[in-house]
Amino acid sequence: MENPNNSKLDSLQALNDLKVMISQIQNVHESTEALRQSIDDLENLRTLFSSHEEKFSELLRSPIALQEHINNTGIVEKKLEDRLNSLTNIESQLSSMKGTVSNLCDDVGVVTSQINEQGSTLNVLDARLDAMEFKVDERQTLGALLMKTHTSYQDELATQGELKRLGSCNLQLKNDQIRLNNDFKLVQSKVLNDRQYSEEQIKSMQSEMQRLDSCNQQLKDDQVRLNKELHLFQQKFDNSHLHCSGEIKKVEEVLHTQIQSNRTVCFFPLSMMPI
């Protein structure tokens, strides 16, 4: 059987190789993107040169356009030799630009070939990556199997310890059950006693409520009786008040009559006035 330590070292080495290959693939992708950007820049430059070439060709083919260009660029103010020199310079610049474009096209061809080569390299790296991934998966599966075999004995020992712990817990649960049953009996007895006491209290409260209801009814009857007596007393008081008011009026009338009669007679001293 293969040594587990060697298997772990091989797995680590495979992972390191996989990381290196991934880094190489990323570098190839980045360089490929840079080359593609360079190709785009060269294409844009070639398009610009082509437009300039077409423009100069049209100027050389069309005298009217050439005359307008000369007028716009101020060449008309120069001498004939200067004009010829300017046209010669323009033609030489055009030739130089053609050469530059040709060189750029060659560079594009070189870059394209490099991209193709890097594409081939990328395919090779992808194939190697697939092989390494398969190898890593295989070693991981083997490592998992070895770890499972290595830990089976430890699992058995752990299971025995767990069984002992569960047996102890079961015994503790039985003791707790007995204790809880005793506590339940005590609580049940206390509840029964409290219920009996509550029933007695309820009966006592019911009899007290009946007594209070009887007292309340007696109070209502007394209130009705007192209201009647108060009403009779109020009537008597009103009658007495009316009688007293009438008597007072009579006395006032008599006094008033006497006062009027006394005003018509002579003055009598206060001590001689009749009572």
- Give tens-digit pLDDT for 4-21: 556 556 666 766 766 776
More confident residue, 43 or 218: 218
Amino acid at 132: M
Percent of the chain residues topping a pLDDT of 90: 17
pLDDT(85) > 50 = yes
Output the pLDDT for position 8.
56
Output the pLDDT for position 158.
79
Output the pLDDT for position 77.
46
Confidence of residue 103 (pLDDT cuts 50, 70, 90): low
Percent of the chain residues topping a pLDDT of 70: 49
Q: Is residue 83 part of a domain?
A: yes
Confidence of residue 75 (pLDDT cuts 50, 70, 90): very low
Q: Is residue 115 part of a domain?
A: yes
- Give tens-digit pLDDT for 235-258: 999 999 999 998 999 999 999 998
- Judged on CB neighbours under 10 Å (0-12, 13-18, 19+), 24 is middle
Q: Is residue 274 part of a domain?
A: no
Q: Is residue 195 part of a domain?
A: no
* Residue span of the structural domain in which 102 resides: 4-160
Task: State mean pLDDT over 203-220.
Answer: 92
Q: Is residue 216 part of a domain?
A: no
Q: Determine the Cα–Cα distance for residues 23 and 26; give it in Å rounded to an integer.
A: 5
Q: Is residue 256 part of a domain?
A: no
More confident residue, 236 or 66: 236
Of 40-49, 150-159, 199-208, which has the strongest mean pLDDT? 199-208
Q: Is residue 46 part of a domain?
A: yes
Task: State mean pLDDT over 24-36.
Answer: 69
Of the listed ranges 9-18, 166-175, 187-196, 206-215, the least confidently predicted one is 9-18
Here the tokens at position 179 are: 């204790």
Q: Is residue 242 part of a domain?
A: no
Strand, coil or helix: 94: helix
Confidence of residue 58 (pLDDT cuts 50, 70, 90): low
More confident residue, 184 or 102: 184
Amino acid at 12: L
In degrees, rounded to 5, the angle at the alpha carbon of residue 265 between the alpha carbons of residues 259 and 268 is 85
Here the tokens at position 220 are: 């209502």
Q: Determine the Cα–Cα distance for residues 57 and 156; give it in Å rounded to an integer.
A: 93
pLDDT(117) > 50 = yes
Q: Which residue has the tokens 């007290």?
A: 208
Confidence of residue 141 (pLDDT cuts 50, 70, 90): confident
More confident residue, 84 or 223: 223
pLDDT(73) > 90 = no
Kindly report the CATH number assigned to the domain that includes residue 14.
1.10.287
pTM of the predicted structure, to 2 decimals = 0.27
More confident residue, 156 or 142: 156
Output the pLDDT for position 160.
82
Rounded to the nearest integer, the mean pLDDT of the chain is 74
Rg (CA), the chain: 66
Q: What share of the chain is helix, strand, coil (3-state, %, to 5)?
A: 95, 0, 5
Task: State mean pLDDT over 162-184.
Answer: 87
Tally of domains within the chain: 1
